[in-house]
Amino acid sequence: SESIRLAVIGGDGIGPEVVAEGLKVLDAALAGTDVAVETTDFALGADHWLETGEVLDDATLERLRGFDAILFGAVGAAPGDTRVPLGLIERDLLLKLRFSLDHYVNLRPSLLPAGVASPLAAPGGVDFVVVREGTEGPYVGNGGALRTGTDAEIATEVSVNTAFGVRRVVRYAFEQATARPRTKLTWIHKTNVLVHAGRLWKRIVEEVAADYPQVAVDYLHIDAATIFMVTDPARFDVIVTDNLFGDIITDLAGAVTGGIGLAASGNINPDRTAPSMFEPVHGSAPDIAGQGIADPTAAILSVAIMLESFGQDEAGQRVRDAVAADLSSRGAERRSTAAVGDAIAGAVAARAQ
Amino acid sequence: SESIRLAVIGGDGIGPEVVAEGLKVLDAALAGTDVAVETTDFALGADHWLETGEVLDDATLERLRGFDAILFGAVGAAPGDTRVPLGLIERDLLLKLRFSLDHYVNLRPSLLPAGVASPLAAPGGVDFVVVREGTEGPYVGNGGALRTGTDAEIATEVSVNTAFGVRRVVRYAFEQATARPRTKLTWIHKTNVLVHAGRLWKRIVEEVAADYPQVAVDYLHIDAATIFMVTDPARFDVIVTDNLFGDIITDLAGAVTGGIGLAASGNINPDRTAPSMFEPVHGSAPDIAGQGIADPTAAILSVAIMLESFGQDEAGQRVRDAVAADLSSRGAERRSTAAVGDAIAGAVAARAQ
Ligand SMILES: CC(C)[C@H](C(=O)O)[C@@H](O)C(=O)O
Ligand SMILES: CC(C)[C@H](C(=O)O)[C@@H](O)C(=O)O
């Protein structure tokens, strides 16, 4: 029998609420297997910072490294909360974890489940996965400001892209494409404007593609990609793109496939040199926090990705099936966060019989 | 009687085809006014570069400065055409014009016309305008690459943002909002990640907002903005954002409001220190070039924006009305580019009676 040590970071807003349901479903999925989970809570986020002045200290980061995986809720203070500096929690907690733990693959599947409405009139059969780069691009935090607060201020942001960083994520995406029936890969960038980074991405994609002759490759500018995402999302199979374009296209993809409340993700370190981290794509939604009405589905589906990362494919599939069944039977009546979690956990347990 | 000197840059692919129809409609709109247009063609674009090795030489740029306005088609070689370096024509022609002629406002209205289908099931009444910054951000072309072509390559892109540049475009956007019934402005950025540029944008928006107490201001991250663009596009009135986010959100907006074939734009120099430039948002579409099947509507609507920039509001409105009438009567049958132009030009002439 195996034991998984799981660090749990609920974070801010609805984060802890949805994570609690994820854990409920995790327990249900592992009951009857020989795998046990041991969770440790970490109180991190805007509230923790307000109380202690610490976002993520070195000792905590080192402790987190010792876990097998991290389940993450959401972070971010309320937009109006002027006590928290802009982006502090996002940069120094969430992005610090992604960068420090070398989560170079941010895996974001998009599937329009049966019975779920899309804002699109004719979405078609949507089932693709975005491989978003997680440790480079405009997210590195390089850049700065000069003459701050004056009329002569200049502020820069530097996007950093390396052959090393692009190759490993592109290779991962080709592996994903190889394992899927359509074996298709679309890479997204803005090569006609961002020519330095664009040339690098193009070269690496072409080099890696030579090792995967069975994969059909195409390219879209990010602006054109947003068009296809609403006119023909079924055209996508595997998408690979940089950190910022991946952020944008996955939110749009989430909206098109039934809402961001269903979008799950894994921040993956494929080399297993540090724990991977699983989190819903949605944010902390301070406007609905504390009311017990947030949809925990994305957190629960993130648990499914986590189970699969442990090789617990059967348990992961049971979670997916239970979610699909729950989604297809949702009516107009609004259930509480806990009620949704209970229902899915119950269905997962029933499926184990 | 007044004479307008208009430079015409058809460009590549379908660019010259749609521009020809724009000119047809321009003539029809100005017939019966005391304004005459004198056009001068400039053969610029990928083909011109292949023939001459010049993209846009200094003498040509200086000549262009002498015109009252520029009508622009589209540029960009076919994606498969390896003779043209990546982004050469986009950067050294289109972006060089926008930057050199100080087109700091890239004005892109989005309106879902009656009778036009949207890919959204329930788009609602969509009528907003995006004020996209045109001379800063990640589009400046700063950055570069080191150890090019090796496994140790690093490529950077630098987004440059200044108080000067942000303030002038934000102020323009507030003026637009003031002139519209809903007096609402949404600014879009990614302030929680791109904190240096984000802080500058936030400060400037707040400073300018103090001068426009009647305008309701809200903020969206670019990822969240793409969600609203498909779930509730009617929420937008005036949007102001940076060059890259503006590129992305306007293509998505175009898709949502009947397709990029209808999306018009003006690259505006509000200070009139150089000619403004009017262009459809769509690209050169090499796949359908030369077949006479491209939709010229976006080019024609760009002419309407141009007419308004000359103070010819009545003529501009006639063009808009003729386009609206044409759109609402479009059937399944596909008309040629010229047939659409003829029909709209005819309707514009008839409306002058
Ligand atoms: C909260 C924010 C920093 C984050 C991101 O931009 O990556 C979020 O939008 C996401 O997509 O996970
Ligand atoms: C062709 C390209 C350089 C251009 C841009 O990115 O600005 C186009 O996409 C646009 O939106 O006008």
Residue A111 lies in a domain: no
Residues pairing with A239 in the sheet: A130, A186
* Residues of chain B contacting A255 with CB distance shorter than 8 Å: 226-227, 230-231
Convert the pLDDT of each residue in A262-290 to its tens digit. Answer: 999 999 999 999 999 999 999 999 999 99
pLDDT in tens, B44-74: 999 999 999 999 999 999 999 999 999 999 9
Residues B190 and B243 in one domain: yes
Are residues A349 and A334 part of one domain?
A: yes
> B211 C-alpha vs ligand 2 centroid, how far in Å?
32
CB of A155 within 6 A of ligand 2: the answer is no
Token code pair at residue B344: 């709209």
Which of A55, A80, A15, A88 has the alpha carbon at shortest distance from B191? A88
User: Would you call A251 a catalytic residue per the annotation?
Assistant: yes
B 76-135: CB under 8 A from A: 76, 79, 86-87, 90-91, 95, 117-122
pTM of this prediction exceeds 0.95: yes
Q: Is residue B124 domain-resident?
A: yes
Q: Are residues B300 and B200 in the same domain?
A: no
B106 Cα to the center of ligand 2, angstroms: 11
- Digit-coded pLDDT (tens) for A142-196: 999 999 999 999 999 999 999 999 999 999 999 999 999 999 999 999 999 999 9
Closest among B118, B217, B104 to B161, alpha carbons compared? B104
- Which of B102, B127, B190, B295 is catalytic? The answer is B190
Residue numbers of the domain that contains A195: 118-257
Query: Given B225, B257, B289, which residue is the final one in a domain?
Result: B257
Task: Report the phi/psi class of residue A272: left, alpha or beta, with left for phi > 0 and alpha for psi in -120 to 50.
Answer: left
Residue A251 located in a structural domain = yes
Q: Is B223 in the pocket of ligand 1 (CB under 6 A)?
A: yes
A350 touches chain B (CB under 8 A): no
Please check whether residue B112 lies inside any domain of the structure. no
Same domain assignment for residues B301 and B334: yes
Instruction: Grade residue A353 by pLDDT with cuts at 50, 70 and 90.
Output: low
Same domain? For A240 and A165 the reply is: yes
> Which residue is catalytic, options A12, A139, A172, A326?
A139
pLDDT in tens, A129-142: 999 999 999 999 99
Q: Select the more confidently predicted residue: B100 or A32.
A: B100
Amino acid identity for residue B293 in this structure: I
Q: Whose CA is nearest to atom 2 of ligand 2?
A: B90
Split at pLDDT 50, 70, 90, the class of B81 is confident
Residue A236 has pLDDT above 70, yes or no: yes
Active site residue A287: no
Question: Are A118 and B121 within 8 A, CB to CB?
Answer: yes
Give residue A331's pLDDT band: very low, low, confident or very high (50, 70, 90): confident
Retrieve residue B88's tokens.
């050469």
Domain count, chain A: 2
Q: Are B152 and B248 contained in the same domain?
A: yes
Catalytic residue, from A27, A232, A251, A321: name it: A251
Q: How confident is the model at residue B274 (pLDDT cuts 50, 70, 90)?
A: very high
Which of the listed residues A14, A91, A94, A284 should we mutate to test ligand 1's pocket, taking the one with most ligand atoms within 8 A of CB? A94
- Say whether both A54 and A134 belong to one domain: no
- The residue written with tokens 């099947």 in the block is B293
* Average pLDDT over every residue of A31-47: 94
Quote the pLDDT of residue B332.
84
The span from the CA of A218 to the CA of B235, in Å, is 34
Task: Report yes or no: B241 at the A interface, CB cutoff 8 Å.
Answer: no
Q: Which CATH number belongs to the domain containing residue B174 in this structure? A: 3.40.718.10
Q: What is the pLDDT of residue A81?
A: 86
Residue A131 has phi, psi (to 5 degrees) of -105, 100
Residue A110 lies in a domain: no
Domain boundary residue, one of A192, A224, A257: A257
CB pairs under 8 A between A and B: 222
Shortest Cα distance, chain B CAs vs residue A167, angstroms? 9
Ligand nearest to the CA of A12: 1
Model confidence band, residue B78 (pLDDT cutoffs 50, 70, 90): confident
> Do B60 and B149 lie in a common domain?
no
User: Looking at the predicted structure, is the pLDDT value of residue A1 above 80?
Assistant: no
Q: Which one of A257, A273, A305 terminates a domain?
A: A257
Distance CA A130, CA B307 (A): 43
Comparing CB atoms, the residue among B162, B167, B259 nearest residue A154 is: B162
Q: Which residues of chain B does A256 touch, with a Cβ-Cβ cutoff of 8 Å? A: 230
Tokens of B277: 């430039």
Q: Do residues A328 and A307 both lie within one domain?
A: yes
Residues A199 and A311 in one domain: no
Q: Does B230 touch chain A (CB under 8 A)?
A: yes
Work out the minimum CA distance from B142 to partner chain A, whole angstroms: 9
Is A113 among the domain residues? no
Minimal C-alpha gap between A200 and chain B (Å): 7
| Res B331: pLDDT | 86
Q: Does residue A283 line the site of ligand 1, with CB under 6 A? A: yes
Residue A112 lies in a domain: no
The predicted pLDDT at position B303 comes to 98
Among residues B41, B57, B218, B223, the one annotated as catalytic is B223
Residue B353: pLDDT over 70: no
CA–CA dist A265, A246 (Å, integer): 12
Whether A193 and B91 lie within 8 Å, measured CB to CB: yes
Q: Chain A residue with minimal CA distance to B157?
A: A159
B-proximal residues of A, 208-227, CB under 8 Å: 219, 222-224, 226-227
**Over 70: is that where the pLDDT of A237 sits?**
yes
Q: Are residues A79 and A53 in the same domain?
A: yes
Distances (CA, A) of B66 to A12, A170, B7, B103: 57, 48, 9, 15
Residues B201 and B224 placed together within one structural domain of the fold: yes
Residue A352 lies in a domain: yes
In sequence order, what E strands does chain B have?
A: 2-11, 35-41, 69-74, 105-111, 127-133, 137-146, 154-162, 184-189, 216-221, 238-241, 264-268, 276-280
- Strand ordering across the sheet containing A238-241: A35-42, A2-11, A69-74, A276-280, A264-268, A105-111, A127-133, A238-241, A184-189, A216-221
B338: left (phi over 0), alpha (psi -120 to 50) or beta: alpha
Residue B125 has pLDDT above 70, yes or no: yes
pLDDT digits (tens, 9 = 90+) for A73-116: 999 888 778 899 999 999 999 999 999 999 999 999 999 998 89
Check whether B176 has a pLDDT greater than 80: yes
If we measure between CA atoms, which residue out of B267, B95, B75, B94 comes closest to residue B169? B267
Q: How confident is the model at residue B352 (pLDDT cuts 50, 70, 90)?
A: confident
Active site residue A57: no
Ligand 1 pocket, A73 CB below 6 A? no
Q: Which residue of A lies nearest to B201 if distances are taken between CA atoms?
A: A155
Active-site residue A223, yes or no?
yes
